[in-house]
Chains A and B, each alone.
Chain A
Amino acid sequence: MSGADKERRLAGELESGVLAVLWAADAPLTPGQVQQALGASLARTTVTTILTRLHGKGTLVRARSGRGYAYAPAQDAPGLTARRMHSELAKDEDRGAVLARFVSQLSDEDEQLLRSLLDEGPAGDRP
């Protein structure tokens, strides 16, 4: 993979992280709030650049907030498409065979086991 490709891929990954924060939020966020929510070591200027780029693509909408802007995901046409896509994909369980889902559903026993695993943490931490 060339350096430019890698850079582009990395930029795409950063965009996904920023977009996820905005979708998970209940209200529009300023670059500072996004940076805080990401919790990662991203510079404020990097966050601002990503937000501006996403806004330029029409992925985000923004409104004046104080001296800068607050950003929110654009909910209109792409959102509608996504909703339709999701319902199409969920229609037939057999269709899921092509798509690797992140998690499958849990039985009661699985849920208990999972909770205890997460509570206990990694093997090394056990007293």
Chain B
Amino acid sequence: MSLVWVPLLAPFLAVPAARRLADALAPRRAAALLVCVAVGLALCTAAALALLMVPGASYLPWVAAAGELLTPLADGPPALTVGVSAVAAALLGASAAAVTVRLRAHRADLREARTRAGAFRGELAVVPDERPDAFALPGRPGRIVVTTAMLRALAPAERTALFAHERAHLRGRHHLPLAAVDLAARCHPALRGLRAPLGYALERIADEAAADAVGDRTLTARAVGRAALAGGPAPRPRTVLAATAGPVPRRVAALLGREVAARPAPRLRRAVAAGLLLCLVTTGAAELSAADTLHAHIEVAQGEWR
């Protein structure tokens, strides 16, 4: 078997490494790292599936004719080659369909929300609702959507911090990296693990921007904390995850200059970074090598060698 399988397996190693590294990095760098890893590995996955498809496809008469192949590509027993290629084609088709559906859904959601928010002439859209909620609605101009319950849960100064936080999301166009990683996750299931850390990094960026804007880290921390407490406990099942602090306490702790989770030692951090880099370089090299092998097989099948 060739190296073409490496890009399909790499995300299972690279995703945990990227998560650990993102934990140790400043929010902006963490977000950039997570987006690059997710998009890069998604593209490598798609390319590997495409490479796997070719040998089996060469058994189809019209493909052979188009490729001027004298024989099908020699890449193991015919039944296995055709089987693997069929599965790869199905997976690639499913990924493409999932990405397309998701992209359309993203666009439709935003368009619809924008049309509805069009009734508001200011940046703030207040929703009469007893569930505390607030989010940034991207667009030109972007809007801040907030429920009455959220406004009542916060003191006026805390609301200023909330609005500054949402403005940072809008100004930074944070919905774009979120959408990019969401789409990447449709190409490889392991990449789903990058969505939550990216969300956290983007919230941290916005928290820091809000703390700068209101000039008070404690006030910003209180706004985040009180908004979360107003929502009450989630009906979340108790899992192993419950042992670690959730994103909101970590954000509040970071604003207050405290640590709820021990940061990894610099040495371990460097080791994780080196491991991740090795993993990504190996993936890229395997992809190129697999493409090269395939190319050689095609030349043989075209009767140019031997």
Give, as a whole number of angstroms, the nearest-CB distance from B222 to chain A. 6
Which residues of chain A come closer than 8 Å to B206, judged between CB atoms?
Answer: 100
Query: Closest chain A residue to B210 by CB distance?
Result: A102
Which residues of chain B come closer than 8 Å to A86, judged between CB atoms?
Answer: 127, 129, 133, 145, 147
Which residues of chain A come closer than 8 Å to B135, judged between CB atoms?
Answer: 89, 96, 99-102
A118 pairs with B245, CB closer than 8 A: no
Which residues of chain B come closer than 8 Å to A15, judged between CB atoms?
Answer: 122-124
Which A63-119 residues sit within 8 Å CB-CB of chain B? Answer: 73, 75, 77-79, 81-86, 88-90, 95-111, 113-115, 117-118
B246 pairs with A107, CB closer than 8 A: yes
Knowing A101-B135, A107-B234, A123-B258, the reply to whether A82 touches B128 (Cβ < 8 A) is: yes
A61 within 8 A of B: no
Pick out which of these stretches binds chain A: B6-14, B81-89, B171-179, B297-305.
B171-179
Query: Closest chain A residue to B108 by CB distance?
Result: A95
A100 pairs with B163, CB closer than 8 A: no
Whole-angstrom distance between the alpha carbons of A12 and B170 in the complex?
Answer: 14
B116 pairs with A102, CB closer than 8 A: no
Q: Please, what's the 1-or-0 string for B127-168, where 1 marks a CB less than 8 Å from any CB in chain A?
A: 111001111111000001111101110011101101101110
Task: Select A16's contact among B113, B144, B150, beta carbons within 8 Å.
Answer: B144
Give, as a whole number of angstroms, the nearest-CB distance from B1 to chain A. 36
- The binding surface of chain A is classed by DSSP as helix
Which B80-139 residues sit within 8 Å CB-CB of chain A? Answer: 105-106, 109-110, 112-113, 116-117, 119-129, 132-138
Query: Closest chain B residue to A12 by CB distance?
Result: B123
Knowing A85-B116, A124-B257, the reply to whether A16 touches B225 (Cβ < 8 A) is: no
Give, as a whole number of angstroms, the nearest-CB distance from A70 to chain B. 18
A57 pairs with B121, CB closer than 8 A: yes
Q: Please, what's the 1-or-0 string for B172-197, where 1 marks a CB less than 8 Å from any CB in chain A?
A: 00110011001000000000000100
Which residues of chain B come closer than 8 Å to A110, judged between CB atoms?
Answer: 228, 233, 245-246, 248-249
Knowing A84-B116, A97-B182, A98-B178, the reply to whether A114 touches B121 (Cβ < 8 A) is: no
Whole-angstrom distance between the alpha carbons of A17 and B213 in the complex?
Answer: 14
Which A24-38 residues sit within 8 Å CB-CB of chain B? Answer: 24, 37-38
Interface pairs (10), CB distance under 8 Å: A15-B123, A17-B156, A81-B119, A82-B145, A89-B109, A105-B232, A106-B229, A111-B229, A114-B225, A120-B256
